[in-house]
Amino acid sequence: MDSSALAALGAAMLRYRMARGLSLRQLAARLGMQGHGGLSDYEKGRRLAPADLIERYEHQLGITDGELRALRAAALAERATNHSEPAADAAAAVTIAELPAVPADFQGRSAELAAVMGAAADCLAGQGPVTVVVTGQPGAGKTTLAVHAAQQAFRLGLRDAQFFVELGTAEPDAVLRRLLRALGVPDAHLPPEVDEAAAMFRSRMAGRRCVLVLDNARDEAQVRALLPGPGPVLVVVTSRQRLTGLAGARRVGLAELTMDDAQALLSDIVGSERAAAEPESVAEVVAACARLPLAVRIAGNRLAAWPEWSIAHLAELLRDEQNRLGRLTAGDLAVRSAFALSYREVPPIAGRLFRRLALAPGADFDVQVASALLGEPAEAALEVLAGASLIGLAATPGRYRMHDLLQLYACELLQDDAQRDKAERALFSWLFEHSRRAAAALSPESGEFPGGRTAAVAWLDAEASSLLGAVRRTRERTDGEYDELLGDLTQLIPWYYDLRCRWSDMVEVADHARVVADRLGDLAARAFAYSMLGLGQLGQHRYRAALASCQLGLADARAAALAAEEAELFGRMGLAYEGLGQYAEAEARHADHAEQCRVLGDRLGEAAAIGRRSHALQLLGRHTEAAACLKLALKMRSDLGDERGVAMAEYRFSALRNNQGQHEEAVLRSNRALAVFQAHDDQWGTAVAHYELGRALAGLGRLREAASAYRTAVRGLEQVGEWQRLAEATAALTDVTSR
């Protein structure tokens, strides 16, 4: 074990100790050691002192130039060289080909595979070693991809050795001994210390063109000791963790398979003829597996094992969400087991959050939703779950999502959470109340919301699916837990749904609010619900249904003495009559709306009603009266400081002037309306104003500009579902383009 470098290190340790006048026993006490016999061996050059002991030596003895560390590094390098020499010939004769077989039905992952192969090519080009970390949720196929890529890298030219190590809970020293044995080092020559073994491994790997797959890594420390030194070595690490501490590593993340790749995988397993006979059932099985490779493979294996089953039979079995995970089992393969392995490795607080995220009602969630469920700040727990690939990043920055099958697993775990109902109440109460406050910021009263109107719209955009999901979840409850919150929300959320043209959401929430009001016998709440329902049906162009809803709401509003809501319902009935082509009735209802608002002193409502009446007058061909209404509405809106209302009046004026052939004024008014609509992120207003601008420019013969305006209008009208105006804009665009 002795060497000149090791002897030099021991002599230096002895010299410094003696210079400080310390006995071995005294120094051992300072170093926190139980005995001093080990120090004697180190100073005599019989054993190599551990790195941490050398650092403590230098600290206690006041050595500031790092001399002992440098001598230790030299001894370590010398030992690795000496240990490798006796077995060099034997190692060269060993064929190392440890990679397991890859399923012949490997499908997809072309971009991810290309990324790993790019790293292999760089190794051969002299840029090695290169480490690639492959991460993804349990069952995403990390090992399969890593082995498949390693086999291709071997064919590409990394032919000297193929290593495959299942890390799991293994410690680096045990893994290094295993690798060194594979490289031909006899047990008698295996170094006792991890850093010595790592140095020997690096020496043995020097110059070899190799592939090293480190599967299922627990953390960065487990991997670092196994990384080779300079040379053409490709290291592919798979882990449920992101291993962000591995500096310089390239990263490949695995999501679900595409639908085409998932169906191709199932087809390969069960046979193409069998799959081709039931294409719809193949798609249903893949959807039930949420395109997770492990789940698709298990489903395919079950079908292959039972050739008498139809694919439709398995699809029917998998429709039952409560038992789906149990049915995604084939032999020793089980989706639930893969999930459980990751779940057991996270700290208790992260595990509690994972379970409760099954209660999140939307397609994705953020730290606020998670904190409401956890009952305390959840940022750290979210990072743990994301690091363990139990949740993933959503498309929107700052938001997360959970894979469908992982959500089913979380639901199973949630059954044993004694605080489940309390967590759900906390989340829904927070969500309904925050939605109400955000919607209030969009109303004429402009309620307070952190960040103002713009922040309120952005927050509602992000949480719209969560809000709708929460309403659906509460639909079957009869305990009245959220009735008051839902009633308050119904009076304000239409401002947001109308701005974003989310008509189906509006109809669904309003219908549920109507059912709740019916159950409570609350006429006022039912009037608001019918009013909201009618507005949503107007947006869907269901004019007869909207008229019926508004008439029912009008009866309830009168019975409950809700004069303001009665006035609003007159206006919505007017819009319904317009859609039905009954323009005289429409004009009368808008006039009723305006008069009712005047009596109530609601100047804002009166201005809106006068503007709507102007449109009905246009439809009746009474353009002079329409212009007078618009001038009055414009003045009232301006006096009230209602920017969006001014824009609406300008837009209606531009339509009127286009109908009258006054296109110069129409251009001016359209541009005024556009500036405000765009500033307020009003998608509907921006789209219809572009349409009127296109009409005006076309009327002036400015066809290229008109085509540009029409194209923008078409995109916007399609986005908000304004189908009738979309057809008109598309036809106009075709006309000006041909001209």
* 74, 79, 224 from 70: Cα distances, Å: 6, 14, 21
Q: Over pLDDT 70: what percentage of the chain?
A: 96
Q: What is the mean pLDDT of residues 454-483?
A: 89
Tell me: pLDDT of 192 over 60.
yes
Q: Over pLDDT 90: what percentage of the chain?
A: 69
How many other CB atoms sit within 10 Å of the CB of residue 113?
16
pLDDT digits (tens, 9 = 90+) for 198-253: 999 999 898 899 999 999 999 999 999 999 988 999 999 999 888 989 989 999 99
> Residue 23, exposed/middle/buried by CB under 10 A (0-12, 13-18, 19+)?
exposed
Amino acid 87: pLDDT = 40
Instruction: Return the amino acid letter for 448.
Output: E
Q: What is the mean pLDDT of residues 340-358?
A: 94
Paired tokens of 559: 């019975």
Task: Give the SS3 label for residue 21.
Answer: coil
Q: How confident is residue 575, by pLDDT bands cut at 50, 70 and 90?
A: very high
Amino acid 81: pLDDT = 60
Amino acid 36: pLDDT = 65
Closest by CA position to 692, among listed 647, 651, 721: 651
Tell me: pLDDT of 140 over 80.
yes
- Give residues with Cβ within 8 angstroms of 50, minimum separation 6: 193, 195
pLDDT digits (tens, 9 = 90+) for 243-291: 989 989 999 999 999 999 999 999 999 999 999 999 999 999 999 999 9
Q: How confident is residue 34, by pLDDT bands cut at 50, 70 and 90?
A: low
Selected residue with higher pLDDT from 19 and 324: 324
Selected residue with higher pLDDT from 19 and 464: 464
Amino acid 268: pLDDT = 93
* 131, 141, 248, 525, 707 from 389: Cα distances, Å: 20, 13, 21, 44, 48
Q: What rounded mean pLDDT belongs to the chain?
A: 90
Q: What is the mean pLDDT of residues 549-564?
A: 96
Selected residue with higher pLDDT from 15 and 668: 668
Tell me: pLDDT of 322 over 80.
yes
Closest by CA position to 699, among listed 735, 648, 649: 735
Tell me: pLDDT of 328 over 80.
yes
pLDDT digits (tens, 9 = 90+) for 42-92: 888 777 777 778 888 888 888 887 788 888 877 777 766 655 444 444 444
Q: How confident is residue 14, by pLDDT bands cut at 50, 70 and 90?
A: confident
- This prediction has a pTM of 0.76
Task: Give the helix ranges, DSSP H, for 396-451.
Answer: 404-414, 420-440
Q: What is the mean pLDDT of residues 343-360?
A: 95
Amino acid 44: pLDDT = 80
pLDDT digits (tens, 9 = 90+) for 690-738: 999 999 999 999 999 999 999 999 999 998 888 888 999 999 999 999 8
Q: How confident is residue 445, by pLDDT bands cut at 50, 70 and 90?
A: confident
Task: Give the SS3 label for residue 34.
Answer: coil
CA–CA gap between residue 728 and residue 87 (Å, rounded): 84
CA–CA gap between residue 227 and residue 320 (Å, rounded): 46
pLDDT digits (tens, 9 = 90+) for 601-612: 999 999 999 999
The DSSP code sequence of 87-133 is THHHHHH--EE-PPPPPTT----HHHHHHHHHHHHHIIIII--EEEE
Q: How confident is residue 10, by pLDDT bands cut at 50, 70 and 90?
A: confident
Q: Can you list the domains of the chain with their CATH numbers?
A: 5-82 (1.10.260.40), 96-254 (3.40.50.300), 259-337 (no CATH), 346-417 (1.10.10.10), 665-738 (1.25.40.10)
The pair phi, psi for residue 400, each rounded to 5°, is -125, 165
Amino acid 352: pLDDT = 97
pLDDT digits (tens, 9 = 90+) for 634-653: 999 999 999 999 999 999 99
CA–CA gap between residue 585 and residue 544 (Å, rounded): 14
Question: Computed from CA positions of residues 361, 367, 370, 375, in that sequence, does the dihedral angle turn out positive or negative?
Answer: negative
Tell me: pLDDT of 38 over 70.
no
Amino acid 82: pLDDT = 59
CA–CA gap between residue 257 and residue 203 (Å, rounded): 40
Amino acid 336: pLDDT = 93
Amino acid 654: pLDDT = 95
CA–CA gap between residue 722 and residue 712 (Å, rounded): 14
Amino acid 207: pLDDT = 86
For β-strands 210-215 and 161-166, DSSP reports them as: parallel
Paired tokens of 668: 């001016």
Amino acid 84: pLDDT = 47
Q: Which residue has the tokens 């009866």?
A: 555
Tell me: pLDDT of 354 over 70.
yes
